[in-house]
């Protein structure tokens, strides 16, 4: 080997300056501890969708009116904004929404500002529309829910809920809490048509009277010498009696007609039938959220303590319960992850203790907490947090983070065993492998960079892992090069002749002897034969690769790209067919709730699963949330419970959508399958959507199929008769009076506390609930005369779509469905739909209709494309990082030859463990590419130095294998054993992350064998091919 100057370089300086090394270590530890104690704790990383929404309320308008009057104008206004990747719009009764997906690389805040300016420039919106609401879609992190239930009327319960919400918001850790499951307040002024006709009034005139009398108005100021005196008219009505006293008519004799004389004024809630139960009792809830850097666990603890104190002040019959406490699940999951991490640490320490001198193993192991605390120190500044996924990142890097220290430590031990223990030999041993070891860590860092670049909502999860791993590896370089050599130099040398070694030392000596025997008696002769028959050896490996690929491509490894994430609750969403009444929704939700309670009651005591449940309806739709026992007490998968509940319910007449789930979708895109059909031809679009829906129904395991085009609502189109025009009536007069009669006239909005309350003037419900009410109403002309409605209007009965979906200004239909992944893989269905009979029939029968992927299916396609591009870039960077220290163009290529074999090992690992291949598996394989080459870099670097000293290539390759055998085995085993606890984890919450650990763990084991045999053979073959002018030896 070339002589190494042990007095030059940063490694030498720190090794000889123990104070500097220890101070650096103390700074990292203290900074990391402070950060670890204050860092944000949450269940999952922030799942932020790069999406901007524009919502415009158009009360009383049909979906068609919303489309033409609102949605198309917004689409045209924002279409040309740069940075918009996709645009969808939704037109429903009374509401128009436009969703804009922002292209990767664009600042979403700038796009949001441009959208606001574009919408503001729209010249004119329909008269009855409300102010557009423009916002960025953001994920809210729920911390805990509080539920008020018992025998209390709706107003009393909402008042109590608002009081409790205000008290919770005043808690030190809480910033945001919202009342949930309650109807908004509304003041309704209801007048019979008979009374209006008696006094010659219309609903619009009554509303105007309210507007004129119920107001607070500043009237300027009197500028006197003694000062200004403000003038103000205060007459705003806030309560029922205030509105009843408003004067409608005044006669000359002083008599007055007030609103209370002819109208029924009710200070209540928005008019729809309402249903909200908690554990079978009427209820209203308060949802508490963690925002920004708030700690969910602190919030939960404070709210739980508040609930216990507040219970003592409640009246009899009223309950206050905290539930849906996500931090219980969070604490359990974090505890499970920490336990696995500590188990991994112990296993890694045991492996190190077997291979290395105990004191050396200890100092090598110290690199792990230093690297971890260094990562903690920087995570908050980079947007990181402690969550289930980031903790998995620490588990993932357990065995990898000490690889650099292992290589340095093992090299130092080898040199000191041969030449004696002194500071010069420690520096010499460290510097001998410092360059290839450093570049080896850099290749691993580069391999984890693609995890930071995954697009879509799902991308936040691998990004959290990538951030942790990259920071840990960066600090491992600092620790192994600047801190570790100083500690190794301070170790006491072993006595030359220890006559009474300890039990551990005797075990280490015996193990070392056996390891040398395996290395020199078995491995070295085998490697020599393999190198002599190197072309046959390479052919055998290639044949194994082809066979393994064929085995993997076959039906043996199932692919479920986005696995479900287990939850501590199950949920149901119900949507009734168009035209259904709210009373029907209440009946359906009540029936489903009863089935859930009956299912739980039918189980033996140790199999009961239900803790709390909350059921409510809203505008004809319903939702049920059921909290389950904690994971350590629940002996069944929540998804199995959801399936059993779904079977117990069966088919319920009148339901358009009934979705029951016991897991959260990791892709964040709704259902497992998503397709989108686009066309200007609405008839062809509807027929193609029906064909696609029927196609999906043929697949076993596909359920909850949803067609956005299903269902129409009956519609009556008003047309004015020619005779009405002679009376001075226009279509607008007719439409406005009918709207006032059946929807009402919004007189004003008043602010009461936190809530804005609408004041509506309308007919009583009995005069606006049937077609007969329309036929019997009277229309007032401009002259004040009244004519029967039927004499001036014609009616056209037709149906209207309940909702209209558009994509980039074209009508579209979205078809989505959930998949029972144990029966069929979503990816197989997607391929069949696009390339199978449906795709061919679509082109033949509906040439104007375009089929695109949507939702989770689209995210999977985009994610695969993104991973491919970033993986190619990462492979090039890995190649460059190896070419630089090796000073060769070809040697990195032979090293990268182990990557495909590592991938095969990863896939075989999935077969052994019995799990599906998922997105996390793929990301594990991408990261594996940077890990498996590390040992090969050290080996090839050793061969290069040996060849420089004049040793033959074959002998140098054999020496590299035997001399690096211990280090290669040690780094591989520490990585695998660091992952072993999480590989054996059976909890539901860890199942989504295990595939990545399988890819890394088994891939490294498999690649280790390849490294020890194939790399020396390829090196010698490369030397054989030197005639092709590829430089082997570095200059």
610 and 475 both lie in a single domain: no
More confidently predicted of 272 and 468: 468
The pLDDT tens digits for 97-117 are 999 988 877 888 899 999 999
Question: Which of 646, 674, 699, 644 is CA-nearest to residue 817?
Answer: 674
334 and 353 both lie in a single domain: yes
Q: What is the mean pLDDT of residues 324-338?
A: 75
Residue 1032 predicted with pLDDT over 50: no
Q: How confident is the model at residue 3 (pLDDT cuts 50, 70, 90)?
A: low
Percent of the chain with pLDDT over 70: 94
Which range among 29-33, 141-145, 458-462, 1005-1009 shows the weakest confidence by mean pLDDT? Answer: 458-462
Q: What is the mean pLDDT of residues 499-520?
A: 78
More confidently predicted of 29 and 550: 29
Answer whether residue 414 is part of any domain: yes
Domain boundary residue, one of 632, 665, 698: 665
pLDDT at 434: 84
The pLDDT tens digits for 805-826 are 898 888 899 898 888 887 888 8
pLDDT at 89: 92
941 and 997 both lie in a single domain: yes
Tokens of 484: 């570790």
Answer whether residue 686 is part of any domain: no
Residue 1027 predicted with pLDDT over 60: no
More confidently predicted of 497 and 480: 480
List the domain range (segments joined by +) for residue 126.
51-136
Residue partners of 575: CB distance under 8 A and separation at least 6: 620, 621, 622, 655, 656, 657, 658
602 and 465 both lie in a single domain: no
Question: How far is it, in rounded angstroms, from Cα 420 to Cα 644?
Answer: 70
Answer whether residue 942 is part of any domain: yes
Tokens of 614: 């909350």
Q: Please report which helix (H) or strand (E) contains residue 529, including its range.
A: helix 524-532
Residue 263 predicted with pLDDT over 50: yes
Answer whether residue 1013 is part of any domain: yes
484 and 633 both lie in a single domain: no
pLDDT at 926: 82
Q: What is the mean pLDDT of the chain?
A: 85
pLDDT at 578: 67
Q: What is the mean pLDDT of residues 314-327?
A: 87
Q: What is the mean pLDDT of residues 766-787?
A: 85
Residue 1031 predicted with pLDDT over 60: no
- Going by their DSSP bridges, the two strands 275-278 and 281-290 should be labelled as antiparallel
Which range among 395-399, 527-531, 1024-1028 shows the weakest confidence by mean pLDDT? Answer: 1024-1028
Q: What is the mean pLDDT of residues 490-504?
A: 65
Cα dihedral across residues 552, 554, 557, 563: positive or negative: positive
436 and 518 both lie in a single domain: yes
Tokens of 313: 């002040």
CA dihedral 268, 272, 273, 278 (to 10 degrees): -70
376 in Cβ contact with 36 (< 8 Å): yes
Using the structure block, give the residue that is written with the tokens 């045991």: 350
157 and 126 both lie in a single domain: no
Residue 146 predicted with pLDDT over 50: yes
The pLDDT tens digits for 726-744 are 888 888 888 888 888 888 8
Question: How far is it, in rounded angstroms, from Cα 132 to Cα 215?
Answer: 25
Question: Which of 638, 719, 706 is CA-nearest to residue 671?
Answer: 706
pLDDT at 170: 93
The pLDDT tens digits for 154-173 are 889 999 999 999 999 999 98
The pLDDT tens digits for 896-917 are 888 888 888 888 888 888 888 8
Q: How confident is the model at residue 2 (pLDDT cuts 50, 70, 90)?
A: low
Q: How confident is the model at residue 498 (pLDDT cuts 50, 70, 90)?
A: low
3-state class (DSSP) for residue 690: helix
Tokens of 983: 């590989």
Report the b/e string of 316-353 with b at 16+ CB within 10 A: eebebbbbbbbbbbbbbbbebbeebbebbbebbbebbb
The total number of structural domains in the chain stands at 4
Q: How confident is the model at residue 470 (pLDDT cuts 50, 70, 90)?
A: very high
User: What distances in angstroms separate CA 123 from CA 73, 118, 132, 521, one per listed residue?
Assistant: 9, 10, 13, 87
User: What distances in angstroms separate CA 91 from CA 74, 76, 739, one per listed residue?
Assistant: 12, 15, 19
DSSP for 717-781, please give it.
EEEE-HHHHHTT--HHHHHHHHHHHHT-EEEEEEEETTEEEEEEEE--GGGSSSHHHHHH-EEE-
Task: For residue 871, give the CATH number of its domain.
Answer: 1.20.1640.10
28 and 58 both lie in a single domain: no
pLDDT at 54: 94
Answer whether residue 753 is part of any domain: no
Task: For residue 320, give the CATH number of its domain.
Answer: 3.30.70.1320
406 and 445 both lie in a single domain: yes
More confidently predicted of 328 and 316: 316
454 in Cβ contact with 463 (< 8 Å): yes
Domain boundary residue, one of 290, 324, 358: 324
131 in Cβ contact with 52 (< 8 Å): no
Answer whether residue 313 is part of any domain: yes
Answer whether residue 249 is part of any domain: no
Answer whether residue 737 is part of any domain: no
Which range among 199-203, 472-476, 492-496 shows the weakest confidence by mean pLDDT? Answer: 492-496
Task: For residue 629, give the CATH number of its domain.
Answer: 3.30.70.1430
Question: Which of 689, 694, 696 is CA-nearest to residue 711?
Answer: 689
516 and 598 both lie in a single domain: no
Q: Where are the alpha helices (DSSP H) in 814-952?
A: 826-835, 837-845, 855-886, 891-895, 898-913, 919-931, 933-948
Question: How far is it, in rounded angstroms, from Cα 1024 to Cα 1032?
Answer: 10
What's the whole-model pTM score? 0.78
Domain boundary residue, one of 665, 690, 706: 665
CA 297, distance to chain mean position in Å, is 20
pLDDT at 206: 92
Q: How confident is the model at residue 1 (pLDDT cuts 50, 70, 90)?
A: very low
543 and 656 both lie in a single domain: no
Q: How confident is the model at residue 868 (pLDDT cuts 50, 70, 90)?
A: confident
Q: What is the mean pLDDT of residues 7-23?
A: 88
122 and 148 both lie in a single domain: no
């Amino acid at each position: 080997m070339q002589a190494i100057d042990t007095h030059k370089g940063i490694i030498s300086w720190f090794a000889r300056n123990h104070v500097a090394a220890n101070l650096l270590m103390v700074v990292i530890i203290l900074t990391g501890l402070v950060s670890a104690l204050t860092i944000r704790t949450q269940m999952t990383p922030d799942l932020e969708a790069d999406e901007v929404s524009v919502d415009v309320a158009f009360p009383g308008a049909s979906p068609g009116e919303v489309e033409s009057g609102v949605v198309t104008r917004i689409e045209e206004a924002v279409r040309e904004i740069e940075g918009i990747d996709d645009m969808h719009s939704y037109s429903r009764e009374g509401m128009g929404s436009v969703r804009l997906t922002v292209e990767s690389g664009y600042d979403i805040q700038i796009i949001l500002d441009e959208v606001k300016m574009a919408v503001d420039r729209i010249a004119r919106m329909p008269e009855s529309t409300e102010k557009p609401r423009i916002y960025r879609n953001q994920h809210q992190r729920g911390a805990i829910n509080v539920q008020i239930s018992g025998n209390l009327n709706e107003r009393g319960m909402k008042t109590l809920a608002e009081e409790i919400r205000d008290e919770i918001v005043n808690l030190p850790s809480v910033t945001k809490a919202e009342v949930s499951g309650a109807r908004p307040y509304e003041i309704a002024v209801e007048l019979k048509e008979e009374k209006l006709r008696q006094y010659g009034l219309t609903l619009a005139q009554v509303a105007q009277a309210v507007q004129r009398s119920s107001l607070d108005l500043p009237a300027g100021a009197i500028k006197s010498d003694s000062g200004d005196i403000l003038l103000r008219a205060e007459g705003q009505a806030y309560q029922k009696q205030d509105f009843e006293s408003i004067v409608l008519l005044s006669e000359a004799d002083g008599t007055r007609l007030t609103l209370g004389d002819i109208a029924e004024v009710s200070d209540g809630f928005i008019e729809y039938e309402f249903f909200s139960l908690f554990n079978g009792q009427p209820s209203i809830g308060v949802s508490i959220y963690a925002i920004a850097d708030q700690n969910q666990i602190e919030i939960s603890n404070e709210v739980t303590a508040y609930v216990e104190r507040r219970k003592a002040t409640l009246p009899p019959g009223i309950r206050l319960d905290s539930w849906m406490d996500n931090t219980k699940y969070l604490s359990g999951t974090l505890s499970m992850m920490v336990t696995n991490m500590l188990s991994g640490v112990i296993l890694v320490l045991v492996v190190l203790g077997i291979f290395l001198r105990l004191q050396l193993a200890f100092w090598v192991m110290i690199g792990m907490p230093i690297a971890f605390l260094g990562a903690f120190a920087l995570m908050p500044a980079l947007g990181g947090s402690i969550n289930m996924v980031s903790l998995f990142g620490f588990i993932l890097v357990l065995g990898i983070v000490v690889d650099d220290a292992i290589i340095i430590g093992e090299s130092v031990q080898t040199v000191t065993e041969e030449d004696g223990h002194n500071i010069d030999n420690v520096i010499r041993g460290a510097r001998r492998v410092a360059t290839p070891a450093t570049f080896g860590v850099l290749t691993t860092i580069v391999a984890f960079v693609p995890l930071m670049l995954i697009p879509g909502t799902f991308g936040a999860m691998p990004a959290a892992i990538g951030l942790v791993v990259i920071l840990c590896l960066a600090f491992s370089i600092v620790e192994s090069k600047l801190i570790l050599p100083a500690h190794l130099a301070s170790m006491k040398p072993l006595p030359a002749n220890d006559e009474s070694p300890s039990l551990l030392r005797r075990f280490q000596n015996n193990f070392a002897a056996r390891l040398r025997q395996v290395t020199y008696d078995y491995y070295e002769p085998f490697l020599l034969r393999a190198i002599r028959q190197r072309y046959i050896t390479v052919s055998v490996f290639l044949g194994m690769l082809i066979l393994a690929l064929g085995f993997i491509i076959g039906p043996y490894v199932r692919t479920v790209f986005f696995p479900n994430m287990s939850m501590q609750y199950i949920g149901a969403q119900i949507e009734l067919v168009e035209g259904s009444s709210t009373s029907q929704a209440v009946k359906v939700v009540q029936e489903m709730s009863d089935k859930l309670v009956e299912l739980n009651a039918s189980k033996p005591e140790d199999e009961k699963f239900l803790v709390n449940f909350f059921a409510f309806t809203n505008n004809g739709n319903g939702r049920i949330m059921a909290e389950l026992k904690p994971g350590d007490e629940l002996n069944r998968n929540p998804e199995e419970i959801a399936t059993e509940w779904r079977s117990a319910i069966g088919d319920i007449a009148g339901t358009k959508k009934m979705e029951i789930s016991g897991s959260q979708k990791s892709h964040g895109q709704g259902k497992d399958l998503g397709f989108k059909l686009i066309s200007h031809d609405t008839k062809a679009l509807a027929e193609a959507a029906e064909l696609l829906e029927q196609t999906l129904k043929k697949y076993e395991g596909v359920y909850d199929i949803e067609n956005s085009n299903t269902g129409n609502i009956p519609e009556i189109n008003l047309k004015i008769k020619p005779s009405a025009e002679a009376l001075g009536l226009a279509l607008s007069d007719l439409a406005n009076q009918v709207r006032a009669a059946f929807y009402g006239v919004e007189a004003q909005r008043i602010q009461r506390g936190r809530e804005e309350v609408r004041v509506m003037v309308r007919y009583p419900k009995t005069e606006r609930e049937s077609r007969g009410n329309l036929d019997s109403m009277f229309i007032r002309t401009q002259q004040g005369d009244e004519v029967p409605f039927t004499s001036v209007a014609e009616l056209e009965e037709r149906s209207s779509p309940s909702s209209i979906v558009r994509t980039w200004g074209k009508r579209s239909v979205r078809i989505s469905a959930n998949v029972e992944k144990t029966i069929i893989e979503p990816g197989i269905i997607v391929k069949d739909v696009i390339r199978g009979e449906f795709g061919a029939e679509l082109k033949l029968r509906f040439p104007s209709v375009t089929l695109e992927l949507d939702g989770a299916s689209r995210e999977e396609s985009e994610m695969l494309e993104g991973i491919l591009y970033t993986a190619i870039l990462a492979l090039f960077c890995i190649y460059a990082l190896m070419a630089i220290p090796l000073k060769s163009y070809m040697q990195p290529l032979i090293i990268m030859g182990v990557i495909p074999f590592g991938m095969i090992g990863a896939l075989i690992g999935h077969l052994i463990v019995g799990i599906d291949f998922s997105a996390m598996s793929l990301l594990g394989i991408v990261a594996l590419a940077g890990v498996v080459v590390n040992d090969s870099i050290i080996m090839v670097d050793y061969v290069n130095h040996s060849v420089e000293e004049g040793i033959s290539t074959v002998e140098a390759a054999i020496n590299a294998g035997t001399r690096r055998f211990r280090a290669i085995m040690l780094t591989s085993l520490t990585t695998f054993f660091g992952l072993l606890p999480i590989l054996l984890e059976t909890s539901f919450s860890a199942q989504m992350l295990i595939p990545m650990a399988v890819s890394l763990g088994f891939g490294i084991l498999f690649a280790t064998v390849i490294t020890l045999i194939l790399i020396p053979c390829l090196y010698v073959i490369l030397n054989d091919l030197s005639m092709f002018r590829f430089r082997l030896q570095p200059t």
